[in-house]
């Protein structure tokens, strides 16, 4: 979730009006509830004026982009265990997960010709590209 917030913050701060398509494999009803209860609490709605939210519980689009399931060893590798340990130490507890924790996510940028300009699928569940890298790829496509 923080990744999505950081991306929108960077886009807004740099006045980049490029659209974002945010996918979840949660059912549409749960995704909508998450947007209004969780995401809206973390960032102003104006940051996401160009964002469309798409629920893909069948994983049809995830699979079209090569995003299958990760291995348990990668999902619960050292970085994730450290992340959870830090959360626990800060008193935040361990988040409960309703959806498949092994399903992979990823970040892409598609240029004006419909070609991939950035493709990042993390080696583990904590691996996301910096927001600045996505913004830079979007800006390069404008040149």
Instruction: Return the closest-CA partner of residue 17 out of 143, 139, 140.
Output: 139
Dihedral angle sign, alpha carbons of residues 75, 119, 130, 53: negative
Of 73, 78, 91, 142, which one interacts with other proteins (CB under 8 A)? 142
How crowded is residue 138: how many other Cβ atoms within 10 Å of its Cβ?
23
| 104 scored as a contact of other proteins (CB under 8 A) | yes
Smallest gap from Cβ 41 to other proteins, in A, equals 13
Look-up of token digits 């979730």: 1
Which residue has tokens 């964002």?
Answer: 51
Q: How many residues does the chain have?
A: 143
Tell me if 42 sits within 8 A of 1, measured CB to CB. yes
Residue 53, strand partner residues:
22
Q: Is 98 in the site for other proteins (CB under 8 A)?
A: yes
Q: Exactly one of 12, 84, 121, 136 binds other proteins (CB under 8 A); which one?
A: 121
CB nearer other proteins, residue 47 or residue 138: 138
Interaction with other proteins in 4-63: which residues (CB under 8 A)? 4, 7, 18-26, 28, 30-32, 34-35, 38, 52-56, 60-63
Q: Is 110 in the site for other proteins (CB under 8 A)?
A: yes
Q: Cβ 19 to other proteins, closest distance in Å? A: 5
Residue 137 tokens read as 């790829």
- Where on the chain is the footprint of other proteins (CB under 8 A)? 1, 3-4, 7, 18-26, 28, 30-32, 34-35, 38, 52-56, 60-68, 95, 97-112, 114-119, 121, 125, 134, 137-138, 141-142
């Amino acid at each position: 979730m923080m990744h999505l917030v950081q991306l929108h913050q960077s886009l807004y701060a740099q006045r980049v009006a490029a659209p974002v398509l945010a996918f979840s494999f949660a059912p549409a009803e749960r995704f909508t509830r998450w947007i209004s209860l969780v995401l809206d609490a973390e960032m102003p709605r104006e940051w996401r004026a160009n964002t469309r939210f798409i629920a893909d519980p069948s994983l049809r689009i995830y699979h079209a982009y090569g995003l299958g399931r990760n291995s348990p060893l990668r999902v619960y590798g050292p970085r994730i265990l450290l992340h959870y340990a830090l959360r626990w130490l800060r008193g935040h507890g361990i988040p409960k997960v309703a959806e498949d924790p092994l399903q992979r996510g990823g970040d892409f940028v598609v240029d004006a010709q419909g070609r991939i300009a950035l493709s990042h699928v993390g080696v583990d569940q904590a691996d996301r590209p910096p927001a600045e890298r996505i913004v830079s790829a979007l800006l390069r496509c404008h040149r």
